[in-house]
């Protein structure tokens, strides 16, 4: 038996991992694969970062290959490791943390970096790019404190960043040096229509502006332009383009121009070293769109597997995008230049625009705005290079003039496409792959195609074409649209699952998935944590919590940071501490050489930069409960000093806060829960943007619910007014238990209350006996929980095997 070669992939992004996916389809035992990724995440869809920023998706929802995929394919994954040196003589790579790996074949897929303008002040705090999950996190955190943002760059990336910042509640100025937005992808009329649409959404534009410098001392306060004008800004996002990440390649001695020079088989200038993706330059072109990078990956996989391939000959590109909810498409050469003729239709009422450009009787370019359904057909015509003489108007209008205006068969253009035509640009899915799923794998609904191929699973811009192909191939066999379940593993909703668990007395995750006929018998990162929660909520005394079904941070009982270290947050009840407690935390921070100790927004201390191996001993030395800064449970109870010290205070806010936190700590919930107690209507503890907030008034308390201070700020609804602390505990407990029992997994209280209605919640809690019953169920459930670190600290065997029990899969944020 031939021994497997060692393949090392530098870069855990879309292009490199896509090449590995192709390689695994061609051969499963030819290579031992090791992947290094700088980020602490599995392979995710970078195109969907704007959705994360807008709050439309969380990190788990944009993951392409989850942690289990690496394990199932015997891939050794090292996240949080940046390869800093390649030794091509000894065929070995070394990371910045000192980890080494030998290779027979090396693939460099380091992607690109955001282009940061080389202007004075560009290194100030608050000046960032928009390239990865960490950038999204910085924007989300910044929006909680600051309200004025500036985005440099009026291309797709800049507009998506601006859209996300608007969703975060910031005022946004977009600065673009050209006179028209997206000038590389759109012509002037389409750009003007886009600008009008985005201005209606709240964006402001400064066009034909050249940024000269970033103002401010340590942190940015504004921008200055070359024309002498200035604007204020608390956050500056540079989205003015990307630069291939070639520093490592240059240091290794590879031939580099703008990108790493590769041939048609993605080979570099050094034997057994390949490059693919945005870091590579092929025939003088470095591509930034997904489809060409996936084409490169397919060629590389065939070459590595020993399968005949003609090689990669470059790509004719098209751009099909959804910019802040507006569909745009462009392909080929769409500018009016000498020797070209163009035709266009513009409908300002419908918000649509269509332009085709013809040269020597051939279609060479097109632009679509608003309605992009003809994009695939136009792109196919451009690539074919066939004459369209006499059919120009038919192609523009979509029907033959004089034919009664009847629209042509909507599937006709799809039938004419070649099988290798890319339908889903986000995930690189071809027409042939979709056809195969429909004809040979029984996929007769859009949902089934999405689950099988990932087509239409990202931005959704190709959904119309996917539906068209479904009708083209399946005909009368098209199935009814599949009802969306809690994830792709099942069609069952949350309520159906909970009802069946109750009815049939199902007591384990495996049992639920088996009885309810899960498509994926092992479940996924979405359904396993939700089932784990529902079973624990329904049967708190009987159900044994499945640690492997919890998200990874909860298994580590700490937050993974971008450099691979951890953040430890002990609980400080109500934000009230003591000199002895502070000294203990300080002593632990010194002992374990904690690089940074920070006060959090929830009145606690965060020990940042902790090594994984130090976690058990650190918790033992702290001898404090976990603050659960990582879990779907009670996070914090923020308080002001109340009437204990403040001359405006009317009630004991600190005492009430401590009572609430001690009552609800370790409470598992569908999503994280934050509380606050303000000692008077001045509301210094910001109680009216919390899941439960108490505001003291003369002679009583206002109980507020369903607030949020995060991505989507929401003021609370007033649930009721009570007089005593006992009533506060009764109502708060009843509300939280009702939420626990009825909300879907990952649904914050604000979304749950908006879904069911405030009147429903009030009616459900109006009966005193009902409230007491809910409170009793919550008290019982909490009493069965214990601080997660106690078992590890007290059980020597568990502690000895900490590495094993906390690492069923790689780390994840």
Residue 793 has a pLDDT of 58
d(CA 182, CA 203): 15
Q: How far is CA 286 from CA 14, 156, 526, in A?
A: 16, 18, 36
What's the maximum distance between 2 C-alpha atoms anywhere in the chain? 89
Pull the structure tokens for residue 660.
């609430």
Q: Give 456 or 86, the one with higher predicted confidence.
A: 86
Residue 803 has a pLDDT of 47
In CATH terms, is domain 5-112+244-305 a member of 3.50.50.60? yes
Q: What are phi and psi of 358, to 5 degrees?
A: -120, 140
144 — pLDDT class (breaks 50, 70, 90): confident
Cβ(694)–Cβ(703) under 8 Å?
A: yes
The mean-pLDDT minimum among 448-457, 592-601, 707-716, 787-796 falls in 787-796
Give the count of beta carbons closer than 10 Å to the beta carbon of residue 189: 16
The mean-pLDDT minimum among 105-119, 324-338, 356-370 falls in 324-338
711 — pLDDT class (breaks 50, 70, 90): low
pLDDT exceeds cutoff 80 at 756 = yes
Equal CATH topology for 5-112+244-305 and 127-240:
yes
The mean-pLDDT minimum among 93-97, 252-256, 444-448 falls in 444-448
pLDDT exceeds cutoff 80 at 316 = no
Mean per-residue pLDDT, 435-451: 83
pLDDT exceeds cutoff 70 at 399 = no
804 — pLDDT class (breaks 50, 70, 90): very low
pLDDT above 70: percentage of residues in the chain: 90
Domain 127-240 in CATH: superfamily? FAD/NAD(P)-binding domain (3.50.50.60)
d(CA 208, CA 696): 53
**H or E stretch at 800:** helix 796-800
Mean per-residue pLDDT, 135-147: 89
Residue 737 has a pLDDT of 96
Cβ contacts of 13 within 8 Å, gap of 6 or more? 37, 43, 46, 109, 111, 277
Instruction: Find, among 612, 601, 610, the residue nearest to 635 by Cα.
Output: 601
pLDDT exceeds cutoff 50 at 809 = no
Instruction: Find, among 478, 475, 622, 500, the residue nearest to 557 by Cα.
Output: 622
How high does pLDDT run on average in the chain? 87
Report the 3 state secondary structure along 676-717.
EEECCCCCCCCHHHCCEEEEEECCEEEEEECCECCCCCECCE
The mean-pLDDT minimum among 232-236, 749-753, 788-792 falls in 788-792
Residue 35 has a pLDDT of 97
Region of 603 (left: φ > 0; alpha: ψ -120 to 50; beta: rest) is: left
d(CA 368, CA 387): 21
The mean-pLDDT minimum among 246-260, 370-384, 685-699, 759-773 falls in 370-384
pLDDT exceeds cutoff 50 at 573 = yes
pLDDT exceeds cutoff 50 at 42 = yes
CATH of domain 422-477: 1.10.10.1100
pLDDT exceeds cutoff 80 at 398 = no
Cβ contacts of 370 within 8 Å, gap of 6 or more? 193, 326, 327, 350, 351, 352, 353
Q: Give 599 or 380, the one with higher predicted confidence.
A: 599
CATH topology of domain 318-408: Enolase-like; domain 1 (3.30.390)
Mean per-residue pLDDT, 384-404: 76
Buried b (16+ CB within 10 A) or exposed e, 152-173: bbbbbbbbbbbbbbbbbebbbb
Give the count of beta carbons closer than 10 Å to the beta carbon of residue 196: 11
The mean-pLDDT minimum among 29-33, 131-135, 586-590, 708-712 falls in 708-712
Q: Give 549 or 155, the one with higher predicted confidence.
A: 155
Cβ(19)–Cβ(276) under 8 Å?
A: yes
Instruction: Find, among 805, 807, 778, the residue nearest to 789 by Cα.
Output: 805
pLDDT exceeds cutoff 70 at 791 = no
pLDDT exceeds cutoff 50 at 234 = yes
Residue 388 has a pLDDT of 87
Pull the structure tokens for residue 267.
């080979």
Give the count of beta carbons closer than 10 Å to the beta carbon of residue 346: 16
What separation, in Å, do the N-terminal and C-terminal C-alpha atoms of the chain show?
40
Angle at 293 between CA 289 and CA 299, to 5 degrees: 155
Residue 654 DSSP label: H
Question: CATH number of the domain at 633-786, out of 3.90.1170.50, 3.30.413.10, 3.30.70.100, 3.40.50.1820?
Answer: 3.30.413.10
pTM here? 0.60
d(CA 128, CA 153): 13
Q: Which of the listed ranges 270-284, 357-371, 392-406, 573-587 does the model predict with the highest average pLDDT? A: 270-284
487 — pLDDT class (breaks 50, 70, 90): confident
Residue 166 has a pLDDT of 87
Residues forming beta bridges with residue 225, ordered by sequence position: 211
DSSP codes, 527-592: HHHHHHHHHHHH-TTTPPP-GGGS-HHHHHTSEE-TTS-EEE-B--GGG---HHHHHHHHHHHHHT
Domain boundaries, the chain: 5-112+244-305, 127-240, 318-408, 422-477, 494-550, 633-786
Mean per-residue pLDDT, 6-22: 95
d(CA 134, CA 126): 13
């Amino acid at each position: 038996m031939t021994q497997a070669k060692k393949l090392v992939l530098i870069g855990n992004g879309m292009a490199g991992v896509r090449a590995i996916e192709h390689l695994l389809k061609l051969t499963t035992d030819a290579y031992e694969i090791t992947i290094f990724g700088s980020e602490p995440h599995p392979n995710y869809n970078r195109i969907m970062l704007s959705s994360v920023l807008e709050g439309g998706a969380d990190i788990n929802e944009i993951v392409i290959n989850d942690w289990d995929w690496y394990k199932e394919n015997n891939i050794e994954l090292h996240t949080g490791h940046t390869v800093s040196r390649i030794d091509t003589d000894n065929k070995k790579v070394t990371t910045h943390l000192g980890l080494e790996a030998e290779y027979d074949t090396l693939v460099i897929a380091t992607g690109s970096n955001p282009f940061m303008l080389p202007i004075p002040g560009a290194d100030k705090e608050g000046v960032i790019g928009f390239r990865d999950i960490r950038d999204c996190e910085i924007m989300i955190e910044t929006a909680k404190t600051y309200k004025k943002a500036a985005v440099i760059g009026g291309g797709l990336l800049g507009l998506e960043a601006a859209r996300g910042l608007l969703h975060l509640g910031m005022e946004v100025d977009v600065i673009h040096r050209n006179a028209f937005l997206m000038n590389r992808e759109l012509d002037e009329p389409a750009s003007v229509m886009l600008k009008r649409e985005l201005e209606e959404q709240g964006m402001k534009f400064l066009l034909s502006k050249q940024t000269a410098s970033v103002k401010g001392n340590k942190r940015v306060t504004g921008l200055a332009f070359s024309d002498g004008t200035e604007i204020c800004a608390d956050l500056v996002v540079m989205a003015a383009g990307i630069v291939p990440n070639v520093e490592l390649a240059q240091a290794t001695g590879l031939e580099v121009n703008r990108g790493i020079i590769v041939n048609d088989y993605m080979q570099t200038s050094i034997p057994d070293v390949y490059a693919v993706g945005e870091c590579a330059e092929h025939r003088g072109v470095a591509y930034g769109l997904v489809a060409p990078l996936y084409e490169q990956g397919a060629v590389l996989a065939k070459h590595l597997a020993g399968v005949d391939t003609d090689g990669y000959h470059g790509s004719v590109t098209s751009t099909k995008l959804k910019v802040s909810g507006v569909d745009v498409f462009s392909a080929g050469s769409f500018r009016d230049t000498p020797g070209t003729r163009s035709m266009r239709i513009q409908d300002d009422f419908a918000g649509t625009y269509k332009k085709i450009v013809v040269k020597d009787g051939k279609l060479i370019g097109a632009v679509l705005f608003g309605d992009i359904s003809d994009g695939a057909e136009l792109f196919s015509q451009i690539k074919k290079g066939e004459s369209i003489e006499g059919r120009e108007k038919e192609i523009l209008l979509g029907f033959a003039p004089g034919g009664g205006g009847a629209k042509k068969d909507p599937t006709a253009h799809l039938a004419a496409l070649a099988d290798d035509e890319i339908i889903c640009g986000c995930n690189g899915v071809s027409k042939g792959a979709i056809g195969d799923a429909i004809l040979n794998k029984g996929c007769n609904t859009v949902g089934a195609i999405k689950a099988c191929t990932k087509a239409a699973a990202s931005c959704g811009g190709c959904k119309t074409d996917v539906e068209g192909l479904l009708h083209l191939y399946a005909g009368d066999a098209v199935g009814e649209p599949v009802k969306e379940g809690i994830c792709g593993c099942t069609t069952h909703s949350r309520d159906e699952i909970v009802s069946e668990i109750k009815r049939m007395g199902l007591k384990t995750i495996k049992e639920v998935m088996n009885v309810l006929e899960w498509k994926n018998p092992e479940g996924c990162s979405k359904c396993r944590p939700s089932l784990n929660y529902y079973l624990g909520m329904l049967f708190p005394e009987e159900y044994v919590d499945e640690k492997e079904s919890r998200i990874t941070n909860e298994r580590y009982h700490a937050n993974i940071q971008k450099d691979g270290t951890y953040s430890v947050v002990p609980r400080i009840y109500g934000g009230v501490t003591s000199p002895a407690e502070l000294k203990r935390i300080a002593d632990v921070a010194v002992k374990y050489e904690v690089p940074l100790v920070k006060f959090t927004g929830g009145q606690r201390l965060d020990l940042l930069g902790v090594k994984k191996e130090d976690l058990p001993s650190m918790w033992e030395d702290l001898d404090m409960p976990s603050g659960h800064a990582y879990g779907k449970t009670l996070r914090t109870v923020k308080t002001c000093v109340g009437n204990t010290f403040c001359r405006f205070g009317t009630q004991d806010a600190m005492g009430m806060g401590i009572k609430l936190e001690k009552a609800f700590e370790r409470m598992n919930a569908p999503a994280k829960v934050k509380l606050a107690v303000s000692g008077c209507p001045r509301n210094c503890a910001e109680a009216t943007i919390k899941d439960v907030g108490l505001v003291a008034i003369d002679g009583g308390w206002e109980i507020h619910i369903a607030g949020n201070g995060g991505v989507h700020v929401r003021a609370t609804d007033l649930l009721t007014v009570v007089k005593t602390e006992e009533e506060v505990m009764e109502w708060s407990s009843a509300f939280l238990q009702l939420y626990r029992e009825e909300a879907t997994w990952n649904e914050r209280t604000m979304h749950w209350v908006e879904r069911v209605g405030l009147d429903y919640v009030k009616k459900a809690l109006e009966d005193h006996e009902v409230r007491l019953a809910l409170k009793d169920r919550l008290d019982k459930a909490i009493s069965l929980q214990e601080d997660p670190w106690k078992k590890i600290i007290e059980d020597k065997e568990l502690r000895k095997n900490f590495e094993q029990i906390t690492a069923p899969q790689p780390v994840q944020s």
